[in-house]
Amino acid sequence: MIDQITIQESAPIEQTPEALAGILGIKKPLTEEVFRAAIDNPGYMHNLLASKDTPAFINYLLSHPPASSGKKEADAKVKKKTSLELMAKASKSILKWSKAKFKTVSEEVYNQRLSACEQCEHWQDPPENVLYKLTSLTSKEKKDRKICGQCGCVTANKARLPHENCPVAHASVPGMSKWMELIK
């Protein structure tokens, strides 16, 4: 039987590693390396859950989390956003979009926004994360998978939505974002 975890909206994100440790029956806190590996690597998470009642196996897995896939640099650039935070943010955006009857910006505005993103120092490949892998399933080109390192959004998707804005202030125009729109 797999225990279920319920993360309440009011619970701090920092409690999540402790909750996972509780599910695994571990008294000591998980290291950040183990926790991130469990979140980002479904196979590792499965192995942890499957071996939770076998101390020798669980201890081995905890001592040997999977190696990074070479994305540490991209991960470090992205402000630490958990999958839970990203899903909450995406849900709010979809709700706003639905209230606007799923309208999108004109092709001209979309191209201007995306061009600004492509020239920005925060535009980068996404970190290794299940959520980003899911969003990339509908992307035709690699550039459509790139994200903003400040907010974590997939820029090709965010740039289409009228209610969204770039989170980065324009360097020379006060009050404007890099998309040359008023900062909200």
Write down the pLDDT at residue 80.
Answer: 61
Q: Is the pLDDT of residue 178 over 80?
A: yes
Write down the pLDDT at residue 36.
Answer: 80
- The mean pLDDT value of the chain amounts to 81
Number of domains in the chain: 2
Question: Which has more pLDDT, 53 or 72?
Answer: 53
Write down the pLDDT at residue 14.
Answer: 41
57, 116: one domain = no
Q: With contact defined as beta carbons under 8 Å apart, do 146 and 156 qualify?
A: yes
Q: Is the residue at 22 inside a domain?
A: yes
Query: Which range of residues forms the domain containing residue 132?
Result: 72-158
User: For the chain, where are the E strands, in sequence order?
Assistant: 123-124, 147-148
Q: Is the residue at 25 inside a domain?
A: yes
What DSSP assignment string belongs to 127-167?
Answer: PS-HHHHHHGGG-SSGGGG-EETTT--BHHHHTT-TT---S
144, 104: one domain = yes
Q: Is the pLDDT of residue 5 over 80?
A: no
Q: Is the pLDDT of residue 183 over 50?
A: yes
88, 112: one domain = yes
97-152 per-position pLDDT tens digit: 899 899 999 999 999 999 999 999 999 998 887 778 877 777 777 778 899 999 99
Q: Is the residue at 169 inside a domain?
A: no
Write down the pLDDT at residue 158.
Answer: 94
Q: Is the residue at 178 inside a domain?
A: no
